[in-house]
Amino acid sequence: MQLSELKESQQATVVKVGGSGALRRRILEMGILKGTDLYVEKYAPLKDPMELIVKGYHISLRVEEAAQISVDNVK
């Protein structure tokens, strides 16, 4: 399942961070690594971007960027 498919208030664990180049590096630098737990706080009114809580920090990602991240263990 892709991170972009999650709904508000769902939690999941990162399985794989896809993409390449600067985008992938930026996502990894934000702390979104394999095995990291994520919580979808909310979506913007037009559904882009989405706000995540990762390791206690609030992070905003575009939905197209979130589609590069595979997740599992959705709660």
Give pLDDT, residue 22. 93
Question: How many beta carbons lie within 10 A of that of residue 11, not counting itself?
Answer: 14
Per-domain boundaries in the chain: 3-72
Residue 70 near residue 14 (C-beta atoms within 8 A): yes
Predicted TM-score (pTM) of this structure? 0.89
Residue 19 pLDDT grade (very low, low, confident, very high; cuts 50, 70, 90): confident
Among all chains, which residue has been given the structure tokens 């498919």? Answer: 5
Q: pLDDT (tens digit, 9 = 90+) per residue, 24-63?
A: 999 999 999 999 999 999 999 998 999 999 999 999 999 9
Can you tell me whether residue 12 is helix, strand or coil? strand
Q: What is the pLDDT of residue 20?
A: 85
Give the list of residues 6+ apart from residue 29 with CB closer than 8 angstroms, or none: none
CA–CA distance, 34 with 63 (Å, rounded to integer): 19
Q: Looking at the domain covering 3-72, what would its CATH class be?
A: mainly beta
Q: What are phi and psi of 36, to 5 degrees?
A: -80, 135
Q: What is the pLDDT of residue 31?
A: 94
